Structure 1
Amino acid sequence: MFRFGEVEIIWFLLLVPVQWLLMFWARRRRRRRIARLGDAQHVRMLMPYASEWRFWFKGGLLSLAIACVVLALARPQFGLRQEKAKRTGAEVMFVLDVSRSMLAQDVRPSRLERAKLGIQQLLNRLHDDRIGLILFAGRAYVQLPITNDYSSAQMFLGQVNTDMISEQGTALGSALQLAMRSFSPQEGIGRAIVVISDGENHEDDPLSAAEEAAKQGIKIFTVGIGSLEGAPLPDASGGLKKDGAGNVVISRLDEKVLASIAATTGGVYMHATNFQSGLDPIYEGIDTMQKAEYEQVNYTSYDERFQLFLAIALGLLVLGTIVLERRNPWFNLGRIYRATGGRSAY
Structure 2
Amino acid sequence: MYKIEEPIYFTFFTVIPIIIVVYLLVFWWKKRTQKKFASPELLAKLAPNTSTFKSVLKLVFFLLGLSFLILSLVNPKMGTKLKTVKREGVDIVFALDVSRSMLAEDIAPNRLEKSKQIISKIIDKLGSDRVGIIIYAGNAYPLLPITTDHAAGNMFLQNANPDMVSSQGTAINEALNLARTYYNNDEQTNRFLVIISDGEDHQEDTKQIAQNIANEGVKVYTIGVGTEKGGPIPIKLNGSLIGYKKDRNGETVITQRKTSILQDIAEIGNGIYIDGNKTEVPVEAIAKIIGNAQKSEFETKQFSDYQDQFQWPLAIGLLFLVLDIFLFDRKTKWLKKIDLFNEEANN
Q: TM-score range by the shorter chain?
A: 0.5 to 0.7
User: How big is the shift at 1:285?
Assistant: 1.9
Aligned-pair CA distance for 1:299: 1.1
Aligned to 1:278: 282
- Quick one: distance in 2 between partners of 1:116 and 1:248? 26
Distance 1:118 1:175 in 2: 18
The farther-off stretch of 219-228 and 279-288 is: 279-288
1:249 is the counterpart of 2:225: no
Unpaired runs of at least 5, structure 1: 7-74, 306-346
What is the aligned partner in structure 2 of residue 164 from structure 1? 164
Letter matched to residue 230 of structure 2: G
What CA distance in whole angstroms lies between the structure 1 residues aligned with 2:230 and 2:171? 20
Pick aligned residue for 1:260 from 259, 264, 274: 264
TM-score (norm 1): 0.64
Q: What SS does the aligned partner of 1:302 have?
A: strand
The answer as to whether partners of 2:118 and 2:279 remain within 8 angstroms in 1 is no
Paired residue secondary structure (1:173) = helix
Determine which of 292, 295, 298 is the counterpart of 1:294.
298
Match of 1:22 in 2: none
Deviation at 1:288, TM superposition (A): 2.5
Inter-partner Cα distance in structure 2 for 1:162 and 1:177: 20
Aligned structure 1 segments of 4 or more residues deviating by more than 4 angstroms = 75-79, 274-277
Counterpart for residue 200 of structure 1: 200
CA distance in 2: counterparts of 1:77 and 1:104, whole angstroms? 43
Q: Which of the numbers 229, 232, 244 marks the counterpart of 1:240?
A: 244
Match of 1:117 in 2: 117
Q: Secondary structure of 1:279's match?
A: helix
Q: Which residue of 2 aligns with 1:148?
A: 148
Q: Is the 8 A contact 2:91 2:129 kept in 1?
A: yes
TM-superposed CA distance for 1:236, in Å, is 4.0
Aligned match of 2:97? 97
- One-letter identity of the residue aligned with 1:258: L
CA apart distance, 1:283: 2.0
Alpha-carbon separation, structure 2, partners of 1:98 and 1:2: 31
Q: Is the 1:96–1:134 contact (alpha carbons within 8 Å) kept by the matching residues of 2?
A: yes
Task: Identify if the C-alpha distance between structure 1 residues 116 and 76 changes in structure 2 by more than 3 Å, giving closer, same or farther.
Answer: closer
Offset, 1:261: 0.7
1:78–1:303 Cα contact (<8 Å) kept: yes
RMSD: 2.8
Equivalent residue, structure 2, for 1:174: 174
The alignment partner of 2:93 has SS state of: strand
Q: TM-score, normalised by structure 2?
A: 0.63
Contact 2:117 2:279 in 1 (8 A): no
CA-CA distance at 1:279 after TM superposition: 2.8
Q: What is the one-letter code of the residue matched to 2:274?
A: M
Q: Deviations over 1:135-190 (max 9, x none)?
A: 00001011111110111111100111111112000010111111012111332420
By how many angstroms is 1:86 displaced?
Answer: 1.5
Residues 214 and 268, structure 2, Cα contact 8 Å, conserved in 1: yes
